Amino acid sequence: MDSAPLDSEKDNLSLFVQNRKRLVDYATAVTGTTTQSEDIVQEAWVRFSTVSQADPNFVREPLRYLFRIVRNIALDGRRAQISRSRYVISGNGSETTHLQPDERAVPEVEIQHRQQLAIVRDALAELPERTRMAVELHRLEGLKTREVAARLGISVTRAHNLIAEGVAHCRRRLKSFP
């Protein structure tokens, strides 16, 4: 038996244990609730370990891959919850009404979200490169401000200011959206 996969498995487990709280916090940020975050992170670990055991060389950046899995599971759960809420409305707790989905509402909402996303993409493109990178690392990759600072080689205060400036710029652009 080759010892490399075993070492890789131990390294992956250690990586998971060290970053579990960050993963849970990230899942909470995506879902907006802490109730499912632990389950999401556990499911992510199961998926990750299955892939890494099958091919230890497949995952080049294990922590980034774990965050991606957490994000995907959290978003899938959120979509399922939204979908279920379109069909059932609970009244005072004793009655439940089943509704037919409003065919017109779904495409309109999707179009609105796509337009907002395009505005944010354009706003990010307008930012200076370092500001854009700071916002993307913090908001999209889920890095903490100190991690953004380390990645960009700047002070934590400067990283915080860049993130705040970039997010404020995106918010200003979104306010112009009807």
- For residue 88, what pLDDT is reported? 47
Looking at the domain assignment, is residue 81 inside a domain? yes
Q: Are residues 16 and 48 in the same domain?
A: yes
Q: In the predicted model, what is the mean pLDDT of the chain? A: 79
Domain ranges, residue 22: 3-90
Task: Find the angle CA(156)-CA(120)-CA(107) to the nearest 5 degrees.
Answer: 140
Last-in-domain residue among 64, 90, 116: 90
Residues 73 and 109 in one domain: no
Which pLDDT score, from 0 to 100, does residue 131 have? Answer: 94
| Mean pLDDT of all residues in 139-154 | 91
> What is the CATH number for 50?
1.10.1740
Are residues 18 and 74 part of one domain? yes
Predicted TM-score (pTM) above 0.85: no
Backbone angles phi, psi at 97, to 5 degrees: -110, 130
Percent of the chain residues topping a pLDDT of 70: 79
Q: Look at residues 17, 15, 4, 5 and name the one whose alpha carbon lies nearest to residue 52.
A: 5
Task: State how many domains the chain has.
Answer: 2
Band (pLDDT 50/70/90 cuts) for residue 89 is very low
95, part of any domain: no
Rounded to whole angstroms, the Cα distance separating 174 from 171 reads 5
Q: Which of 118, 12, 115, 14 is nearest to 69 (CA)?
A: 12
pLDDT band at 163 (very low <50, low <70, confident <90, very high): very high
User: Of 8, 15, 120, which Cα lies nearest the Cα of 67?
Assistant: 15
